[in-house]
Amino acid sequence: MSSELRQSAISTIATANYDTEPALGSDSTIDTYGVDTFSIRTMRKYLSKDVYKSLLKTIRSGTALDAAIADEVANGMKSWAMGRGASHYTHWFQPLTGSTAEKHDSFIEPDYEGGVVMNFSGKALIQGEPDASSFPNGGIRATFEARGYTAWDPTSPAFIKRDKNGATLCIPTAFCSYTGEALDKKTPLLRSIQAVSKQAKRVLSLFGKEVQNKVTASLGAEQEYFLIDKKFYLTRPDLIQTGRTLFGSVPAKHQQMEDHYFGAIRPRVLDFMSDVDRELWKLAIPAKTRHNEVAPGQFEIAPQFDEVNAAVDQNMMIMEVLRTTADRHGFVCLMHEKPFAGVNGSGKHNNWSLSYDGNNLLEPGKNPHDNALFLTFLSAIIKAVDCYPELLRSAATSAGNDHRLGANEAPPAIISIYLGSQLNDVIEQIERGGAESSKEGGIMNIGADILPKLPKDTTDRNRTSPFAFTGNKFEFRAVGSNQNCADANVVLNTITAQTLSEIADELEKVSADKFDEGLQAILQKIIKDHKKVVFNGDGYNEDWVVEAERRGLPNLRTTPEVLPHLVTEKSIKLFEAHGVFTKAELESRFEVEKEIYEKKIEIEARIAAEIARTMILPVAMDYQGTIANNLITLNDLGVKAGSKALISELEKVGNLVDTLTEQADTLDAAETHETIIPALADIRVTVDALEAIVDNDLWPMAKYREMLFIY
Ligand code: ADP
Ligand code: MG
């Protein structure tokens, strides 16, 4: 029976006992927090005072690393890591594939007397040479050198990755070519952090503020994901090969009852989440919130925000911990942006802000209109988003995310800003020539006297906006759950650096005694010219598409439409001006992204055709055969009753079998996304129609109603 695997999955889940050992036994969180990371606290213990101070300066102020301290840092790191059971180290990096990469070396060095010494030099810490010729590079290295180099990033702490039999010291690194071109996601992020800090400092100094350390961009990345039982996963070659279901009809009950969001977390899932949190806390990743999401089987985890470079690394680690912990618990963690049709997909909400010496520049304070500095940064961001919407969009584009953006659950592909009514009122006053008052936030009475009165958040919630102001930060919601959010922050930092630099240029021309009037005029002009990107309405409404077009806002729906914007003259000029990307680097990224997109779509086509031919058609034909034989028997017996239903069923199945055969041929012949995407949609309709009529006992792949509800 073809459905054996599926049926046995259900019966095993029904009787399974999922008690798993907690990762830390009964150890208390406070004692084990950060034990597996070479944090500032740990450094203090393992390094001499001078070396510690010098390293801290690099971390805090972004000053260049003093190469002379590398040997001592390496030694301290090694002692600490060996104390934590590590025998190996690896330069951990983020190539353009979008995931992470590592190649392990052990500390051992034979002493040629039959023993070993454990060795880790400053040079090995600072620079690595993975044989990296197979990483995507978009043509950059073909013209130079095959080797790539990894370079230690001291601003993101080293950490320990464990397996059952050992541990590995992981050193966050940037990855670049022999001639210094970036081949990864981290290098441009580090450059963009510098760029925005530089321009923000210019503006701050015009306001008379001297910054002690750098201006930092911070990130809190909320990560959405699905969990399904591993046994179901193994019945689905489409999930295994592409991360999403290419077939499957939406069950009668999906998310329409709205009973999953924030619902009580099932014990098996909570066990998993607790295990994840403990793993993350050992790595000093401050996992903070966990909850059920909108779709059945969908969940979210969010850490407390951190400086963006470290936060991006942490997010990559969170994704890895989610995957490996899920495996231990008999789950598979799906981080594809749209694993299931008909229910919500998953995103990565990119909460971003700028701060200096502990002051959040996006914090409006009690009277936002008084807060000139806040309004200056707000105006810079409004202008940045209006001037470069296609770049923001490009940072959230992928074959997977194309299924999500604009699907009436995620923000639309049109980039706009949501400010909320109070701030909107303030910017309208600026536009008219000066802010007089700010709308009172007021008190929100939630109607139960025993509960305290909550001060009403002055920014209303709007889940339909791709870029929403949420009180003291912006939340960029378009990023896909599977994406590395470095890209989004590279764009946010760089476009903001650009508009801050324009504001600084203007302000520098204003004489000190005319500062207020000068600033007022600059902000007024920005709001006048760029408020068209502000939209406080419902982003899911079809009217918005029309209205956005009238306003001249781009609506780039798919990756092939988006990617060329990376390499326009406008984009090259911007990124070169701030030292974030060279033209060659942008071109290489464009090539890599395009290639990844085409390959992903092609894989979907091949596996869909294979499933249709080798799994669905045989089952459909089996079923067809059973009906035909029944019909013959009825005829032989001369029984009329029932034969009408059999004939009608036989025709239905027969037609679908014919159609499916043709569609598999079409899919096989399709070679580019233009032909593959519609062919995939067509073949899905037929398979889903067969799923609805073929004997349930025969169906070979786990159904939606099983994957999403049985765990
Ligand atoms: P929600 O948007 O779901 O209400 P929260 O208010 O809890 O979520 O915040 C979501 C994320 O934003 C968390 O990771 C949080 O740490 C982060 N965050 C809060 N303040 C800032 C900030 N100033 N900069 C960047 N991220 C922030
Ligand atoms: Mg949020």
Can you read off the two tokens belonging to residue 511? 């004489």
Q: Are 679 and 659 in contact (CB under 8 A)?
A: no
Q: Give all strands (DSSP E) within 489-581, no chain letters.
A: none
Question: Could you tell me if 356 and 458 lie in one domain?
Answer: yes
Q: 10-residue block means of pLDDT along the chain (711 residues)?
A: 80 76 60 93 95 92 85 96 96 93 93 93 89 74 66 94 93 89 94 97 93 93 97 96 96 85 90 94 95 92 97 98 95 97 95 95 70 92 98 97 84 92 85 65 45 53 87 95 97 98 96 88 95 93 93 96 98 98 95 96 98 98 97 96 96 98 97 97 98 96 95 91
- Minimum-distance ligand to the CA of 479? 2
Q: Which amino acid is at 503?
A: I
Q: Do β-strands 287-292 and 166-177 pair in parallel, antiparallel, or remain unpaired? A: unpaired
Cβ-Cβ contacts under 8 Å for 390 (sequence gap 6 or more): 415, 554, 556, 562, 565
Nearest atom (ligand 1) to Cα of 353? 24
205 and 293 part of one domain: yes
Say how many Å lie between the CA of residue 630 and the centre of ligand 1. 62
* Residue 101 CA to ligand 1 centre (angstroms): 28
207 and 78 in a common domain: no
Which residues does ligand 1 sit against, CB inside 6 Å?
218-220, 222, 289, 302-305, 351-353, 360, 470, 472-473, 475
Which residue's CA is the closest to the ligand 1 atom numbered 26?
220
Res 451: pLDDT: 44
Q: Is the pTM of this model over 0.75?
A: yes
Ligand whose nearest atom lies closest to the CA of 363: 1
Residue at 442 is within a domain: yes
State the closest ligand 1 atom to the C-alpha of 302, by its place in the atom list counted from 1: 14
The answer on 126 and 198 residing in a single domain is no
Q: From CA 393, how far away is CA 385, in angstroms rounded?
A: 10
Q: Is residue 486 situated within a structural domain?
A: yes
In a domain, 649, yes or no: no
**Is 102 domain-assigned?**
yes
C-alpha dihedral (278, 282, 283, 288), degrees to nearest 10: 40
Q: Are residues 147 and 212 in the same domain?
A: no
Question: Same domain for 211 and 146?
Answer: no
- At 158 the pLDDT is 97
pLDDT at 443: 43
SS (H, E, C) 108-175: EEECCCCCEEECCCHHHHHEECCCCCCCCCCCCHHHCCCCEEEEECCCCCCEEEEECCEEEEEEEEEE
Token code pair at residue 71: 């040997």
Q: For residues 695 and 658, what is the distance between their CA atoms, to the nearest angstrom?
A: 18
* Alpha carbon distance 51, 68 (integer Å): 9
Q: Are 157 and 225 members of one domain?
A: no
Q: Is residue 147 part of a domain?
A: yes
In a mutational test of the pocket of ligand 1, which residue from 291, 352, 473 has the highest number of ligand atoms less than 8 Å from its CB? Answer: 473
Domain assignment present for residue 424? The answer is yes
* Final residue of a structural domain among 154, 183, 212: 183
Contact (Cβ atoms closer than 8 angstroms) between residue 402 and residue 558: yes
427's enclosing H/E stretch is: helix 421-432
Residue closest via CA to ligand 1's atom 3 equals 222
Neighbours of ion ligand 2 (CB under 5 A): 349
Contact status, residue 426 vs residue 438, Cβ threshold 8 Å:
yes
Q: End of a domain among 126, 158, 183?
A: 183
- The residue ranges of DSSP E strands in 159-316, in sequence order, are 159-163, 166-177, 215-229, 287-292, 298-303, 306-307
Atom of ligand 1 nearest to the CA of 470: 2
CATH of the domain at 270: 3.30.590.10
Nearest-atom number in ligand 1 for the CA of 221 is 14
- For 164, the token pair is 């059952």
Q: How far is the CA of 461 from the centre of ligand 2 (A)?
A: 9
The answer to whether residue 590 is domain-embedded is yes
Give nearest CA residue, ligand 1 atom 17.
220
Is 398 found in the same domain as 341?
yes
CA of 315 to the centre of ligand 1 (A): 14
Q: Which of 599, 629, 663 marks a domain boundary? A: 599
User: Do 296 and 248 share a domain, yes or no?
Assistant: yes
Alpha-carbon distance 136 to 145, whole Å? 14
Q: Residues near 32 by Cβ (< 8 Å), separated by ≥ 6?
A: 24, 278, 281, 282
Find the CATH number of the domain harbouring 138.
3.10.20.70
| CA 271 vs CA 77, 101, 155: distances in Å | 33, 29, 33
Do the domain assignments include residue 448? yes
Q: Which ligand is nearest to the CA of 306?
A: 1
- What is the 100 CA–ligand 2 centroid distance (Å)? 25
The predicted-structure confidence for 644-701, as pLDDT tens digits, reads as follows: 999 999 999 999 999 999 999 999 999 999 999 999 999 999 999 999 999 999 999 9
Domain span at residue 423 reads 192-599
**Which element (helix H / strand E) includes 609?**
helix 583-611
Ligand 2 midpoint to CA 374 (Å) = 21
Ligand 1: centre distance to CA 43 (Å): 28
> Which residues neighbour 58 within 8 Å (Cβ) at sequence distance 6 or greater?
64, 65, 66, 154, 155
For residues 442 and 581, membership in a common domain is answered with yes
Structural domains in the chain (count): 2
Q: Does residue 176 share a domain with residue 294?
A: no
Are 707 and 9 within 8 A, CB to CB?
A: no
Burial of 652 (0-12, 13-18, 19+ CB in 10 A): middle
Residues 80, 85, 88, CA angle at the centre, nearest 5°? 85
In this structure, which residue's CA is closest to atom 4 in ligand 1?
Answer: 470
Pocket test for ligand 1, best of 280, 294, 305, 315 (most atoms within 8 A of CB): 305
| Atom of ligand 1 minimally distant from the CA of 363 | 23
HSE-up of 669 (CA within 13 Å, CB side)? 6
Rounded Cα–Cα distance for residues 169 and 268 (Å): 31
Tell me, in angstroms, the distance from the centre of ligand 2 to residue 701's CA: 35
CA–CA separation, 630 vs 54, rounded Å? Answer: 84
- Which residues, other chains included, contact 245 with Cβ-Cβ below 8 Å and sequence gap of 6+? 236, 238, 239, 339, 340, 341, 704, 707
Q: Are residues 245 and 172 in the same domain?
A: no
Between the CA of 103 and the centroid of ligand 2 the distance, in Å, is 35
- Selection from 428, 381, 413 nearest residue 539 by Cα: 413
**344 CA to centre of ligand 1 in angstroms:** 22
